[in-house]
Structure 1
Amino acid sequence: MKREVPPQSQLVAANDSGAPTARWQLDRIVAELRVSREETHSIRRDGEARRAPSREALEAILNGLTEALFPRHYGQFDLDGENIDYFVGSTLSVALDSLFEQIHRGALFIGDELLPGFRREDAIELTRSFASELPSVRGILISDLRAAFVGDPAARNFPEILIGYPGMTAIIHHRLAHILHRQGARLVARLMAEIAHARTGIDIHPGASIGSGFFIDHGTGVVIGETAVIGDNVRIYQAVTLGARHFPTDDEGNVVKGDARHPIVEDDVVIYAGATILGRITIGRGSTIGGNVWLTRDVPPNSVVTQATARNKVGTGIDPSETPR
Protein backbone atom coordinates (compact mmCIF):
# COMPACT_ATOMS: atom_id res chain seq x y z
CA MET A 1 0.00 0.00 0.00
CA LYS A 2 1.37 3.41 -0.99
CA ARG A 3 2.01 5.63 2.02
CA GLU A 4 0.72 9.18 1.58
CA VAL A 5 3.10 11.97 2.46
CA PRO A 6 1.41 14.58 4.68
CA PRO A 7 1.28 18.09 3.32
CA GLN A 8 3.99 20.48 4.40
CA SER A 9 1.43 22.41 6.42
CA GLN A 10 1.21 19.48 8.81
CA LEU A 11 4.97 19.36 9.32
CA VAL A 12 5.49 22.96 10.41
CA ALA A 13 4.00 25.19 13.03
CA ALA A 14 4.00 28.92 13.54
CA ASN A 15 6.16 30.42 16.26
CA ASP A 16 5.15 33.47 18.27
CA SER A 17 6.08 35.83 15.44
CA GLY A 18 4.05 33.87 12.90
CA ALA A 19 7.09 32.55 11.01
CA PRO A 20 6.94 28.83 10.21
CA THR A 21 9.34 26.59 12.15
CA ALA A 22 9.98 22.83 11.99
CA ARG A 23 7.59 21.23 14.43
CA TRP A 24 9.42 17.92 14.73
CA GLN A 25 12.95 18.95 13.59
CA LEU A 26 12.62 16.38 10.84
CA ASP A 27 15.67 17.51 8.84
CA ARG A 28 17.99 16.65 11.72
CA ILE A 29 16.25 13.39 12.64
CA VAL A 30 16.10 12.15 9.05
CA ALA A 31 19.80 12.96 8.56
CA GLU A 32 20.76 11.12 11.74
CA LEU A 33 18.66 8.11 10.74
CA ARG A 34 20.43 8.08 7.36
CA VAL A 35 23.83 7.96 9.07
CA SER A 36 22.64 5.12 11.31
CA ARG A 37 21.10 3.23 8.40
CA GLU A 38 23.95 3.65 5.93
CA GLU A 39 27.04 3.85 8.15
CA THR A 40 27.09 3.28 11.88
CA HIS A 41 24.42 0.57 12.19
CA SER A 42 24.01 -0.74 8.66
CA ILE A 43 22.46 -4.20 8.27
CA ARG A 44 21.76 -3.89 4.55
CA ARG A 45 23.09 -6.45 2.14
CA ASP A 46 25.08 -5.21 -0.82
CA GLY A 47 23.37 -5.25 -4.18
CA GLU A 48 19.88 -4.58 -5.41
CA ALA A 49 17.13 -3.98 -2.86
CA ARG A 50 14.74 -6.92 -2.59
CA ARG A 51 11.15 -7.15 -1.53
CA ALA A 52 10.47 -9.11 1.67
CA PRO A 53 7.85 -11.85 1.90
CA SER A 54 4.42 -10.57 2.84
CA ARG A 55 3.09 -11.63 6.22
CA GLU A 56 -0.46 -10.89 5.02
CA ALA A 57 0.05 -13.14 1.99
CA LEU A 58 1.43 -15.92 4.18
CA GLU A 59 -1.58 -15.69 6.49
CA ALA A 60 -3.85 -16.11 3.47
CA ILE A 61 -1.71 -19.05 2.27
CA LEU A 62 -1.97 -20.79 5.64
CA ASN A 63 -5.71 -20.26 5.65
CA GLY A 64 -6.00 -21.67 2.12
CA LEU A 65 -3.84 -24.70 2.87
CA THR A 66 -5.84 -25.44 6.01
CA GLU A 67 -9.08 -25.17 4.02
CA ALA A 68 -7.71 -27.60 1.45
CA LEU A 69 -6.69 -30.07 4.16
CA PHE A 70 -10.02 -29.84 5.99
CA PRO A 71 -12.46 -28.41 3.43
CA ARG A 72 -15.72 -29.02 5.29
CA HIS A 73 -14.41 -27.65 8.59
CA TYR A 74 -12.43 -24.63 7.41
CA GLY A 75 -13.78 -24.21 3.90
CA GLN A 76 -17.45 -24.58 2.95
CA PHE A 77 -19.74 -26.71 5.08
CA ASP A 78 -22.07 -27.58 2.17
CA LEU A 79 -19.48 -29.25 -0.04
CA ASP A 80 -20.59 -32.59 -1.47
CA GLY A 81 -19.10 -35.37 -3.55
CA GLU A 82 -19.50 -33.45 -6.79
CA ASN A 83 -17.85 -30.17 -5.83
CA ILE A 84 -15.50 -30.88 -2.92
CA ASP A 85 -12.59 -31.89 -5.17
CA TYR A 86 -13.13 -28.78 -7.27
CA PHE A 87 -13.05 -26.63 -4.12
CA VAL A 88 -9.86 -28.30 -2.86
CA GLY A 89 -8.14 -27.99 -6.24
CA SER A 90 -9.13 -24.37 -6.71
CA THR A 91 -8.12 -23.43 -3.17
CA LEU A 92 -4.78 -25.20 -3.48
CA SER A 93 -4.08 -23.55 -6.82
CA VAL A 94 -4.49 -20.08 -5.36
CA ALA A 95 -2.49 -20.90 -2.21
CA LEU A 96 0.39 -22.58 -4.03
CA ASP A 97 0.64 -19.84 -6.67
CA SER A 98 1.05 -17.33 -3.87
CA LEU A 99 3.40 -19.57 -1.87
CA PHE A 100 5.86 -19.96 -4.72
CA GLU A 101 6.03 -16.17 -5.04
CA GLN A 102 6.70 -15.76 -1.31
CA ILE A 103 9.36 -18.49 -1.36
CA HIS A 104 11.10 -16.74 -4.24
CA ARG A 105 10.94 -13.40 -2.44
CA GLY A 106 12.28 -14.91 0.78
CA ALA A 107 15.28 -16.55 -0.88
CA LEU A 108 16.25 -13.34 -2.70
CA PHE A 109 15.57 -11.08 0.27
CA ILE A 110 18.05 -12.73 2.61
CA GLY A 111 20.42 -14.20 0.00
CA ASP A 112 19.90 -17.59 1.63
CA GLU A 113 23.08 -19.65 1.45
CA LEU A 114 20.91 -22.78 1.43
CA LEU A 115 19.37 -21.67 -1.85
CA PRO A 116 22.24 -20.09 -3.84
CA GLY A 117 21.39 -18.58 -7.22
CA PHE A 118 17.73 -19.18 -6.54
CA ARG A 119 15.47 -18.70 -9.58
CA ARG A 120 11.73 -18.57 -10.07
CA GLU A 121 11.92 -22.05 -11.57
CA ASP A 122 13.55 -23.26 -8.36
CA ALA A 123 10.74 -21.72 -6.32
CA ILE A 124 8.19 -23.52 -8.48
CA GLU A 125 9.96 -26.85 -8.00
CA LEU A 126 10.25 -26.34 -4.24
CA THR A 127 6.55 -25.48 -4.05
CA ARG A 128 5.69 -28.55 -6.12
CA SER A 129 7.71 -30.70 -3.71
CA PHE A 130 5.96 -29.09 -0.75
CA ALA A 131 2.54 -29.75 -2.26
CA SER A 132 3.36 -33.42 -2.84
CA GLU A 133 3.71 -33.90 0.92
CA LEU A 134 0.29 -32.50 1.82
CA PRO A 135 -1.56 -35.86 1.74
CA SER A 136 0.91 -37.43 4.19
CA VAL A 137 0.78 -34.32 6.38
CA ARG A 138 -2.99 -34.63 6.59
CA GLY A 139 -2.59 -38.22 7.79
CA ILE A 140 -0.25 -37.10 10.57
CA LEU A 141 -2.64 -34.31 11.53
CA ILE A 142 -5.44 -36.86 11.89
CA SER A 143 -3.21 -38.74 14.37
CA ASP A 144 -2.74 -35.45 16.27
CA LEU A 145 -6.50 -34.93 16.25
CA ARG A 146 -7.11 -38.40 17.66
CA ALA A 147 -4.45 -37.88 20.32
CA ALA A 148 -6.22 -34.72 21.46
CA PHE A 149 -9.57 -36.52 21.62
CA VAL A 150 -8.12 -39.38 23.68
CA GLY A 151 -5.97 -37.13 25.88
CA ASP A 152 -8.55 -34.52 26.84
CA PRO A 153 -11.67 -35.66 28.71
CA ALA A 154 -13.27 -32.29 27.93
CA ALA A 155 -13.12 -32.94 24.18
CA ARG A 156 -16.53 -34.08 22.92
CA ASN A 157 -15.85 -34.48 19.20
CA PHE A 158 -13.27 -33.99 16.46
CA PRO A 159 -14.73 -30.75 15.00
CA GLU A 160 -14.47 -29.04 18.39
CA ILE A 161 -10.77 -29.86 18.56
CA LEU A 162 -10.04 -29.09 14.93
CA ILE A 163 -11.51 -25.60 14.84
CA GLY A 164 -11.45 -24.66 18.52
CA TYR A 165 -8.21 -25.88 20.12
CA PRO A 166 -5.19 -23.57 19.84
CA GLY A 167 -2.86 -26.55 20.12
CA MET A 168 -4.41 -28.05 16.99
CA THR A 169 -4.06 -24.77 15.09
CA ALA A 170 -0.41 -24.52 16.16
CA ILE A 171 0.45 -28.03 15.05
CA ILE A 172 -1.28 -27.59 11.67
CA HIS A 173 0.81 -24.49 11.05
CA HIS A 174 3.96 -26.17 12.35
CA ARG A 175 3.68 -29.24 10.16
CA LEU A 176 3.33 -27.04 7.08
CA ALA A 177 6.16 -24.72 8.11
CA HIS A 178 8.42 -27.64 9.00
CA ILE A 179 8.29 -28.98 5.42
CA LEU A 180 9.39 -25.61 4.06
CA HIS A 181 12.13 -25.29 6.69
CA ARG A 182 13.45 -28.74 5.80
CA GLN A 183 13.43 -27.86 2.09
CA GLY A 184 15.40 -24.67 2.68
CA ALA A 185 12.72 -21.94 2.56
CA ARG A 186 13.57 -20.93 6.10
CA LEU A 187 12.49 -17.30 6.14
CA VAL A 188 9.00 -18.16 4.90
CA ALA A 189 8.83 -21.06 7.36
CA ARG A 190 9.84 -18.81 10.26
CA LEU A 191 7.25 -16.21 9.34
CA MET A 192 4.58 -18.92 9.23
CA ALA A 193 5.65 -20.07 12.69
CA GLU A 194 5.35 -16.53 14.01
CA ILE A 195 1.85 -16.25 12.56
CA ALA A 196 0.92 -19.35 14.55
CA HIS A 197 2.62 -17.89 17.63
CA ALA A 198 0.58 -14.69 17.35
CA ARG A 199 -2.65 -16.62 16.82
CA THR A 200 -2.23 -19.19 19.59
CA GLY A 201 0.45 -18.11 22.07
CA ILE A 202 2.37 -21.30 21.18
CA ASP A 203 5.92 -20.79 19.90
CA ILE A 204 7.26 -23.74 17.89
CA HIS A 205 10.37 -23.19 15.80
CA PRO A 206 9.78 -24.64 12.31
CA GLY A 207 12.99 -26.64 12.60
CA ALA A 208 11.68 -28.74 15.50
CA SER A 209 11.00 -32.37 14.57
CA ILE A 210 7.70 -33.66 15.98
CA GLY A 211 6.33 -37.20 15.63
CA SER A 212 2.75 -38.27 15.12
CA GLY A 213 0.01 -38.21 17.73
CA PHE A 214 1.22 -34.93 19.26
CA PHE A 215 -1.13 -33.07 21.60
CA ILE A 216 -0.66 -29.65 23.22
CA ASP A 217 -3.37 -29.13 25.85
CA HIS A 218 -4.33 -25.51 26.58
CA GLY A 219 -1.05 -24.41 25.06
CA THR A 220 -0.48 -20.81 26.12
CA GLY A 221 3.22 -20.13 26.70
CA VAL A 222 4.57 -23.35 25.18
CA VAL A 223 8.04 -22.89 23.63
CA ILE A 224 9.75 -25.56 21.52
CA GLY A 225 13.22 -24.78 20.19
CA GLU A 226 14.73 -25.29 16.76
CA THR A 227 16.63 -28.54 17.34
CA ALA A 228 14.11 -30.24 19.64
CA VAL A 229 13.19 -33.78 18.65
CA ILE A 230 9.83 -35.10 19.85
CA GLY A 231 8.75 -38.69 19.36
CA ASP A 232 5.32 -40.20 18.80
CA ASN A 233 2.35 -39.88 21.14
CA VAL A 234 3.76 -37.07 23.27
CA ARG A 235 1.46 -34.81 25.29
CA ILE A 236 2.47 -31.48 26.78
CA TYR A 237 0.59 -28.80 28.69
CA GLN A 238 0.71 -25.02 28.90
CA ALA A 239 3.90 -23.08 29.67
CA VAL A 240 6.22 -25.99 28.89
CA THR A 241 9.64 -25.00 27.56
CA LEU A 242 11.90 -27.26 25.53
CA GLY A 243 14.84 -24.88 25.36
CA ALA A 244 18.60 -24.52 25.26
CA ARG A 245 20.66 -24.43 28.43
CA HIS A 246 23.62 -22.57 26.94
CA PHE A 247 24.87 -21.45 23.55
CA PRO A 248 28.25 -22.77 22.32
CA THR A 249 30.63 -20.22 20.82
CA ASP A 250 33.53 -20.42 18.40
CA ASP A 251 37.12 -19.31 19.02
CA GLU A 252 36.15 -15.69 18.41
CA GLY A 253 33.24 -15.77 20.83
CA ASN A 254 30.50 -15.89 18.19
CA VAL A 255 27.47 -18.06 18.87
CA VAL A 256 27.59 -21.27 16.84
CA LYS A 257 24.43 -21.55 14.77
CA GLY A 258 22.56 -24.79 14.20
CA ASP A 259 24.13 -27.03 16.85
CA ALA A 260 21.81 -29.51 18.54
CA ARG A 261 21.00 -27.75 21.80
CA HIS A 262 17.39 -28.63 22.62
CA PRO A 263 15.91 -31.73 24.28
CA ILE A 264 15.05 -35.09 22.79
CA VAL A 265 11.66 -36.31 24.01
CA GLU A 266 11.07 -39.96 23.25
CA ASP A 267 7.74 -41.69 22.55
CA ASP A 268 4.81 -41.72 24.98
CA VAL A 269 6.07 -38.93 27.26
CA VAL A 270 3.76 -36.59 29.19
CA ILE A 271 5.07 -33.18 30.30
CA TYR A 272 2.86 -31.22 32.68
CA ALA A 273 2.33 -27.47 32.93
CA GLY A 274 5.22 -25.15 33.58
CA ALA A 275 8.01 -27.70 33.16
CA THR A 276 11.29 -26.28 31.85
CA ILE A 277 13.55 -28.78 30.09
CA LEU A 278 16.85 -27.41 28.88
CA GLY A 279 19.80 -28.60 26.84
CA ARG A 280 20.49 -31.61 24.63
CA ILE A 281 19.17 -34.11 27.13
CA THR A 282 16.95 -37.12 26.55
CA ILE A 283 13.61 -37.74 28.24
CA GLY A 284 13.24 -41.50 28.06
CA ARG A 285 10.28 -43.26 26.54
CA GLY A 286 7.15 -43.50 28.68
CA SER A 287 8.29 -40.95 31.26
CA THR A 288 6.14 -38.39 33.04
CA ILE A 289 7.53 -34.94 33.88
CA GLY A 290 5.61 -33.15 36.61
CA GLY A 291 4.51 -29.54 36.65
CA ASN A 292 7.04 -26.75 37.22
CA VAL A 293 10.01 -29.12 37.13
CA TRP A 294 13.37 -27.61 36.10
CA LEU A 295 15.29 -30.32 34.28
CA THR A 296 18.79 -30.30 32.78
CA ARG A 297 19.77 -33.99 33.01
CA ASP A 298 18.79 -37.12 31.12
CA VAL A 299 15.78 -39.04 32.37
CA PRO A 300 15.70 -42.85 32.00
CA PRO A 301 12.72 -44.49 30.30
CA ASN A 302 9.54 -44.93 32.34
CA SER A 303 10.60 -42.38 34.96
CA VAL A 304 8.43 -40.05 36.99
CA VAL A 305 10.07 -36.69 37.70
CA THR A 306 8.44 -34.36 40.21
CA GLN A 307 9.49 -31.24 42.06
CA ALA A 308 12.27 -31.93 44.54
CA THR A 309 11.51 -31.43 48.19
CA ALA A 310 12.35 -27.92 49.33
CA ARG A 311 15.46 -27.80 51.51
CA ASN A 312 18.12 -25.41 52.65
CA LYS A 313 20.92 -25.47 50.07
CA VAL A 314 23.43 -23.73 52.35
CA GLY A 315 26.36 -26.06 52.96
CA THR A 316 24.93 -28.97 50.94
CA GLY A 317 26.41 -28.09 47.56
CA ILE A 318 23.28 -29.59 46.00
CA ASP A 319 20.70 -27.91 43.86
CA PRO A 320 17.64 -30.11 44.39
CA SER A 321 15.85 -28.52 41.43
CA GLU A 322 18.27 -30.32 39.11
CA THR A 323 17.96 -33.72 40.78
CA PRO A 324 15.36 -35.98 39.10
CA ARG A 325 13.46 -38.26 41.43
Structure 2
Amino acid sequence: MRASDVVAPTSPADAFQQAFFAWFRRQLPEPLRFISMGVVLCDTNAVHDEIQYRWDKEEFEPTSALHLGVTLDNEWVHEMGTLAQPLRKAHPLLLHTLFSVVDQVSFRTVPIRTPGWFLSEKACRDWEGNESATDDEARGWLEEAYGNDQEVISLHLPSVIRPLVYPDEIRCPEKVTGRRSCKPDLSLRELRELASTSSGMVSAVCREIVALRLLLGAAGKRPLLNDGYHAGAIYSGCTFVLEANATISEFLDDHVNMEYQAGEATEFERFITFSKTKKGIREQYAQWSLAFQMLRRLDRLLALVVSP
Protein backbone atom coordinates (compact mmCIF):
# COMPACT_ATOMS: atom_id res chain seq x y z
CA MET A 1 0.00 0.00 0.00
CA ARG A 2 1.08 3.58 -0.62
CA ALA A 3 0.94 6.61 1.66
CA SER A 4 0.28 8.74 -1.43
CA ASP A 5 -3.11 7.03 -1.80
CA VAL A 6 -4.34 8.56 1.47
CA VAL A 7 -6.02 11.97 1.25
CA ALA A 8 -7.12 13.95 4.33
CA PRO A 9 -7.91 10.92 6.51
CA THR A 10 -10.28 11.50 9.40
CA SER A 11 -8.82 8.67 11.48
CA PRO A 12 -6.22 5.88 11.31
CA ALA A 13 -9.00 3.52 10.23
CA ASP A 14 -10.00 5.86 7.41
CA ALA A 15 -6.36 6.14 6.30
CA PHE A 16 -6.01 2.38 6.17
CA GLN A 17 -9.28 1.97 4.30
CA GLN A 18 -8.26 4.53 1.66
CA ALA A 19 -4.88 2.86 1.17
CA PHE A 20 -6.33 -0.64 1.06
CA PHE A 21 -8.98 0.07 -1.56
CA ALA A 22 -6.49 1.99 -3.69
CA TRP A 23 -4.33 -1.16 -3.59
CA PHE A 24 -7.39 -3.29 -4.42
CA ARG A 25 -8.21 -1.14 -7.45
CA ARG A 26 -4.69 -1.68 -8.74
CA GLN A 27 -5.32 -5.44 -8.58
CA LEU A 28 -8.67 -5.10 -10.36
CA PRO A 29 -8.47 -1.87 -12.40
CA GLU A 30 -11.85 -2.56 -14.01
CA PRO A 31 -14.99 -4.09 -12.48
CA LEU A 32 -15.49 -7.78 -13.15
CA ARG A 33 -18.13 -8.18 -15.85
CA PHE A 34 -19.10 -11.83 -15.41
CA ILE A 35 -18.28 -12.58 -11.77
CA SER A 36 -20.12 -11.00 -8.86
CA MET A 37 -17.45 -10.48 -6.20
CA GLY A 38 -16.52 -7.65 -3.88
CA VAL A 39 -14.51 -7.04 -0.73
CA VAL A 40 -15.21 -5.04 2.41
CA LEU A 41 -13.25 -4.36 5.59
CA CYS A 42 -15.00 -5.49 8.76
CA ASP A 43 -14.28 -5.30 12.46
CA THR A 44 -15.02 -8.29 14.66
CA ASN A 45 -18.40 -6.98 15.81
CA ALA A 46 -19.54 -6.55 12.21
CA VAL A 47 -18.56 -10.14 11.43
CA HIS A 48 -20.47 -11.44 14.45
CA ASP A 49 -23.54 -9.50 13.29
CA GLU A 50 -23.33 -11.14 9.84
CA ILE A 51 -22.90 -14.71 11.11
CA GLN A 52 -25.12 -14.62 14.19
CA TYR A 53 -27.57 -17.16 12.70
CA ARG A 54 -24.92 -19.54 11.38
CA TRP A 55 -24.86 -22.95 13.06
CA ASP A 56 -21.05 -22.91 13.07
CA LYS A 57 -20.56 -19.31 14.19
CA GLU A 58 -18.40 -20.49 17.10
CA GLU A 59 -15.78 -21.58 14.57
CA PHE A 60 -15.03 -17.94 13.84
CA GLU A 61 -12.09 -17.36 16.16
CA PRO A 62 -10.49 -14.02 15.30
CA THR A 63 -6.84 -13.43 16.14
CA SER A 64 -7.00 -9.71 15.28
CA ALA A 65 -9.67 -7.02 15.07
CA LEU A 66 -9.73 -6.53 11.29
CA HIS A 67 -11.11 -8.89 8.65
CA LEU A 68 -11.41 -9.01 4.88
CA GLY A 69 -14.97 -9.85 3.89
CA VAL A 70 -15.44 -11.44 0.46
CA THR A 71 -18.95 -10.65 -0.76
CA LEU A 72 -21.12 -12.47 -3.29
CA ASP A 73 -24.33 -10.46 -3.51
CA ASN A 74 -25.64 -11.63 -6.88
CA GLU A 75 -25.32 -14.58 -9.23
CA TRP A 76 -25.48 -14.38 -13.00
CA VAL A 77 -26.15 -17.49 -15.07
CA HIS A 78 -23.83 -17.79 -18.07
CA GLU A 79 -24.01 -20.36 -20.83
CA MET A 80 -21.70 -21.12 -23.73
CA GLY A 81 -24.43 -22.06 -26.18
CA THR A 82 -23.23 -21.92 -29.78
CA LEU A 83 -19.81 -20.59 -28.70
CA ALA A 84 -18.93 -24.13 -27.60
CA GLN A 85 -18.87 -25.36 -31.20
CA PRO A 86 -15.57 -23.71 -32.28
CA LEU A 87 -13.86 -25.27 -29.25
CA ARG A 88 -15.30 -28.69 -30.09
CA LYS A 89 -13.98 -28.42 -33.63
CA ALA A 90 -10.55 -27.23 -32.49
CA HIS A 91 -9.89 -30.17 -30.14
CA PRO A 92 -12.16 -32.79 -28.51
CA LEU A 93 -10.63 -32.09 -25.07
CA LEU A 94 -10.69 -28.30 -25.14
CA LEU A 95 -14.16 -27.95 -23.61
CA HIS A 96 -13.24 -30.30 -20.77
CA THR A 97 -10.01 -28.37 -20.20
CA LEU A 98 -11.91 -25.08 -20.12
CA PHE A 99 -14.34 -26.23 -17.43
CA SER A 100 -11.53 -27.91 -15.51
CA VAL A 101 -9.52 -24.70 -15.19
CA VAL A 102 -12.66 -22.78 -14.15
CA ASP A 103 -13.17 -25.34 -11.36
CA GLN A 104 -9.55 -25.03 -10.24
CA VAL A 105 -9.68 -21.24 -10.08
CA SER A 106 -13.05 -21.42 -8.33
CA PHE A 107 -11.59 -23.61 -5.59
CA ARG A 108 -8.82 -21.08 -4.88
CA THR A 109 -10.84 -17.86 -5.15
CA VAL A 110 -14.65 -17.68 -5.06
CA PRO A 111 -17.08 -20.49 -5.89
CA ILE A 112 -18.32 -20.73 -9.46
CA ARG A 113 -21.22 -23.10 -10.10
CA THR A 114 -20.20 -25.34 -12.99
CA PRO A 115 -21.81 -28.54 -14.33
CA GLY A 116 -20.13 -30.65 -11.65
CA TRP A 117 -21.93 -28.73 -8.90
CA PHE A 118 -25.34 -29.48 -10.41
CA LEU A 119 -24.61 -33.18 -10.77
CA SER A 120 -23.30 -33.36 -7.22
CA GLU A 121 -26.42 -31.63 -5.89
CA LYS A 122 -28.72 -34.02 -7.75
CA ALA A 123 -26.75 -37.06 -6.64
CA CYS A 124 -26.88 -35.97 -3.00
CA ARG A 125 -30.58 -35.27 -3.21
CA ASP A 126 -31.86 -38.32 -5.08
CA TRP A 127 -29.10 -40.87 -5.76
CA GLU A 128 -27.54 -41.43 -2.34
CA GLY A 129 -24.61 -39.23 -3.35
CA ASN A 130 -23.56 -41.52 -6.21
CA GLU A 131 -22.86 -39.35 -9.27
CA SER A 132 -22.19 -42.48 -11.36
CA ALA A 133 -25.42 -44.25 -10.36
CA THR A 134 -27.19 -46.32 -12.98
CA ASP A 135 -30.90 -45.95 -13.67
CA ASP A 136 -31.59 -49.27 -11.95
CA GLU A 137 -29.71 -48.18 -8.82
CA ALA A 138 -31.39 -44.79 -8.74
CA ARG A 139 -34.88 -46.12 -9.33
CA GLY A 140 -35.09 -47.67 -5.86
CA TRP A 141 -34.01 -44.45 -4.16
CA LEU A 142 -36.36 -42.40 -6.31
CA GLU A 143 -39.31 -44.62 -5.41
CA GLU A 144 -38.65 -43.82 -1.75
CA ALA A 145 -38.79 -40.11 -2.56
CA TYR A 146 -41.58 -40.03 -5.16
CA GLY A 147 -43.58 -43.16 -4.46
CA ASN A 148 -44.62 -45.26 -7.43
CA ASP A 149 -45.15 -42.33 -9.79
CA GLN A 150 -43.15 -43.71 -12.72
CA GLU A 151 -43.71 -40.62 -14.83
CA VAL A 152 -42.05 -38.41 -12.21
CA ILE A 153 -39.33 -40.97 -11.50
CA SER A 154 -38.43 -41.13 -15.17
CA LEU A 155 -37.62 -37.41 -15.11
CA HIS A 156 -35.04 -37.87 -12.34
CA LEU A 157 -33.11 -40.85 -13.68
CA PRO A 158 -29.33 -40.42 -14.14
CA SER A 159 -29.58 -41.13 -17.87
CA VAL A 160 -31.94 -38.16 -18.16
CA ILE A 161 -30.28 -35.71 -15.76
CA ARG A 162 -26.59 -36.18 -16.55
CA PRO A 163 -26.79 -35.09 -20.21
CA LEU A 164 -28.75 -32.01 -19.17
CA VAL A 165 -26.42 -30.76 -16.43
CA TYR A 166 -23.01 -32.40 -17.00
CA PRO A 167 -22.66 -33.85 -20.51
CA ASP A 168 -20.08 -36.58 -21.08
CA GLU A 169 -18.00 -34.38 -23.39
CA ILE A 170 -16.93 -32.33 -20.37
CA ARG A 171 -17.48 -34.87 -17.56
CA CYS A 172 -15.64 -37.86 -19.03
CA PRO A 173 -14.47 -37.11 -22.58
CA GLU A 174 -13.36 -39.98 -24.77
CA LYS A 175 -9.65 -40.62 -25.18
CA VAL A 176 -8.06 -39.09 -28.25
CA THR A 177 -6.43 -41.64 -30.53
CA GLY A 178 -2.67 -41.17 -30.78
CA ARG A 179 -2.42 -38.83 -27.79
CA ARG A 180 0.24 -39.89 -25.29
CA SER A 181 -1.15 -38.41 -22.10
CA CYS A 182 -3.92 -40.28 -20.29
CA LYS A 183 -5.06 -37.09 -18.55
CA PRO A 184 -8.15 -35.49 -20.09
CA ASP A 185 -6.84 -31.97 -19.48
CA LEU A 186 -4.76 -30.55 -22.32
CA SER A 187 -1.19 -29.83 -21.22
CA LEU A 188 0.45 -26.41 -21.40
CA ARG A 189 2.41 -27.57 -24.44
CA GLU A 190 -0.77 -28.75 -26.18
CA LEU A 191 -2.58 -25.52 -25.36
CA ARG A 192 0.27 -23.36 -26.64
CA GLU A 193 0.47 -25.40 -29.81
CA LEU A 194 -3.29 -25.13 -30.31
CA ALA A 195 -3.12 -21.37 -29.70
CA SER A 196 -0.42 -20.97 -32.35
CA THR A 197 -2.21 -23.08 -34.97
CA SER A 198 -5.68 -21.61 -34.35
CA SER A 199 -7.08 -18.14 -34.77
CA GLY A 200 -9.72 -15.90 -33.29
CA MET A 201 -11.66 -17.05 -30.28
CA VAL A 202 -10.06 -20.50 -30.03
CA SER A 203 -6.54 -19.08 -29.92
CA ALA A 204 -7.54 -16.48 -27.34
CA VAL A 205 -9.24 -19.11 -25.14
CA CYS A 206 -6.12 -21.27 -25.18
CA ARG A 207 -3.93 -18.32 -24.19
CA GLU A 208 -6.20 -17.41 -21.28
CA ILE A 209 -6.26 -21.01 -20.03
CA VAL A 210 -2.45 -21.07 -20.18
CA ALA A 211 -2.29 -17.81 -18.20
CA LEU A 212 -4.62 -19.23 -15.53
CA ARG A 213 -2.63 -22.46 -15.33
CA LEU A 214 0.56 -20.47 -14.75
CA LEU A 215 -1.09 -18.44 -11.99
CA LEU A 216 -2.36 -21.65 -10.37
CA GLY A 217 1.15 -23.04 -10.55
CA ALA A 218 2.56 -19.90 -8.94
CA ALA A 219 0.05 -20.24 -6.10
CA GLY A 220 1.13 -23.77 -5.29
CA LYS A 221 -0.74 -25.05 -2.25
CA ARG A 222 -1.01 -21.69 -0.52
CA PRO A 223 -4.50 -20.52 0.45
CA LEU A 224 -5.66 -17.55 -1.59
CA LEU A 225 -9.24 -16.47 -0.95
CA ASN A 226 -10.13 -20.02 0.16
CA ASP A 227 -9.00 -19.23 3.69
CA GLY A 228 -10.51 -18.00 6.93
CA TYR A 229 -14.09 -18.51 8.10
CA HIS A 230 -16.57 -19.79 5.52
CA ALA A 231 -19.68 -17.67 5.95
CA GLY A 232 -22.07 -19.64 3.71
CA ALA A 233 -22.91 -17.18 0.94
CA ILE A 234 -26.27 -17.87 -0.65
CA TYR A 235 -24.86 -17.00 -4.08
CA SER A 236 -21.76 -18.02 -5.98
CA GLY A 237 -19.58 -15.76 -8.12
CA CYS A 238 -21.63 -16.91 -11.12
CA THR A 239 -23.07 -20.01 -12.76
CA PHE A 240 -21.24 -21.18 -15.87
CA VAL A 241 -22.70 -24.07 -17.88
CA LEU A 242 -22.56 -25.51 -21.36
CA GLU A 243 -26.24 -24.82 -22.01
CA ALA A 244 -28.81 -23.32 -19.67
CA ASN A 245 -32.06 -25.26 -19.45
CA ALA A 246 -35.12 -25.72 -17.27
CA THR A 247 -33.44 -28.40 -15.14
CA ILE A 248 -30.52 -26.13 -14.25
CA SER A 249 -32.88 -23.24 -13.48
CA GLU A 250 -34.96 -25.50 -11.25
CA PHE A 251 -31.87 -26.69 -9.34
CA LEU A 252 -30.76 -23.09 -8.75
CA ASP A 253 -34.21 -21.93 -7.65
CA ASP A 254 -34.54 -24.88 -5.25
CA HIS A 255 -31.09 -24.24 -3.81
CA VAL A 256 -31.68 -20.53 -3.22
CA ASN A 257 -35.13 -21.17 -1.72
CA MET A 258 -33.77 -23.81 0.67
CA GLU A 259 -30.96 -21.49 1.77
CA TYR A 260 -33.41 -18.67 2.40
CA GLN A 261 -35.72 -20.93 4.39
CA ALA A 262 -32.85 -22.24 6.49
CA GLY A 263 -32.12 -18.67 7.54
CA GLU A 264 -28.35 -19.11 7.86
CA ALA A 265 -27.07 -17.89 4.50
CA THR A 266 -25.23 -14.58 4.17
CA GLU A 267 -23.91 -12.41 1.34
CA PHE A 268 -20.36 -13.21 2.46
CA GLU A 269 -18.33 -16.13 1.18
CA ARG A 270 -15.41 -15.64 3.59
CA PHE A 271 -14.08 -13.58 6.44
CA ILE A 272 -10.29 -13.63 6.42
CA THR A 273 -8.59 -12.20 9.50
CA PHE A 274 -5.70 -9.84 8.79
CA SER A 275 -2.39 -11.09 10.11
CA LYS A 276 -0.65 -9.15 12.88
CA THR A 277 2.91 -9.97 11.82
CA LYS A 278 4.96 -8.32 9.06
CA LYS A 279 5.69 -11.68 7.44
CA GLY A 280 2.04 -12.74 7.65
CA ILE A 281 0.83 -9.45 6.19
CA ARG A 282 3.23 -9.68 3.25
CA GLU A 283 2.12 -13.25 2.58
CA GLN A 284 -1.57 -12.33 2.73
CA TYR A 285 -1.23 -9.45 0.29
CA ALA A 286 0.77 -11.63 -2.10
CA GLN A 287 -1.91 -14.33 -1.91
CA TRP A 288 -4.78 -11.89 -2.39
CA SER A 289 -3.00 -10.23 -5.30
CA LEU A 290 -2.64 -13.62 -6.96
CA ALA A 291 -6.31 -14.41 -6.35
CA PHE A 292 -7.45 -11.13 -7.89
CA GLN A 293 -5.18 -11.71 -10.89
CA MET A 294 -6.85 -15.10 -11.34
CA LEU A 295 -10.32 -13.58 -11.14
CA ARG A 296 -9.38 -10.89 -13.64
CA ARG A 297 -8.08 -13.55 -16.04
CA LEU A 298 -11.11 -15.75 -15.45
CA ASP A 299 -13.37 -12.81 -16.23
CA ARG A 300 -11.48 -12.32 -19.50
CA LEU A 301 -11.89 -16.00 -20.31
CA LEU A 302 -15.62 -15.88 -19.64
CA ALA A 303 -15.91 -12.83 -21.88
CA LEU A 304 -14.67 -15.03 -24.73
CA VAL A 305 -16.93 -18.03 -24.18
CA VAL A 306 -20.20 -16.74 -22.69
CA SER A 307 -23.05 -16.49 -25.15
CA PRO A 308 -24.18 -12.85 -25.53
Shared fold (TM-score, shorter chain, > 0.5): no
Q: Which structure dedicates a bigger proportion of its chain to helix?
A: 2
Scaled by the length of structure 2, what TM-score is found? Answer: 0.22
Greater RCO structure (CA 8 Å; 6+ sep): 2
Query: Which one has the largest radius of gyration?
Result: 1
The TM-score with structure 1 as length reference comes to: 0.21
